[in-house]
Amino acid sequence: MAKYMVQGSYTNEGLTSLLKDDGVKRRKVVVNSVSELGGTLESYYFAFGENGFYLIADMPDNLSVTSLSLFSNSTGMINTSVIVLI
């Protein structure tokens, strides 16, 4: 499996949802999404600054992490970018 870092920021709608549901639920959603694509979540961090969160995951391949990114961005709740770790 390859290792990837996903960095992202919350949209206004995403921040509203985060405040309503809390960060624990958000992490569970990420774990489920990564698992459904055959990956495992190594770490998930909330952050201050340009990006509101960072996660590191082991994913089967570039296609699976691209699917994760496209699906996540399509929700309108977050904007993400993926970095391949070497």
Average pLDDT by consecutive 10-residue portion of the chain (86 residues)? 97 92 86 97 96 97 97 95 97
What is the predicted pLDDT for the residue at 50? 94
Contact 44, 33 (CB under 8 A): no
**Is residue 74 one of the residues assigned to a domain?**
no
What is the predicted pLDDT for the residue at 23? 79
**Is residue 22 one of the residues assigned to a domain?**
yes
Give 3-state DSSP helix, strand, coil % of the chain, rounded to 5: 45, 35, 20
CB atoms within 10 A of CB 65: 24
Parent domain of 30: 12-54
What is the predicted pLDDT for the residue at 26? 85
**Is residue 2 one of the residues assigned to a domain?**
no
**Is residue 82 one of the residues assigned to a domain?**
no
State how many domains the chain has.
1
What is the predicted pLDDT for the residue at 25? 86
**Is residue 48 one of the residues assigned to a domain?**
yes
**Is residue 17 one of the residues assigned to a domain?**
yes
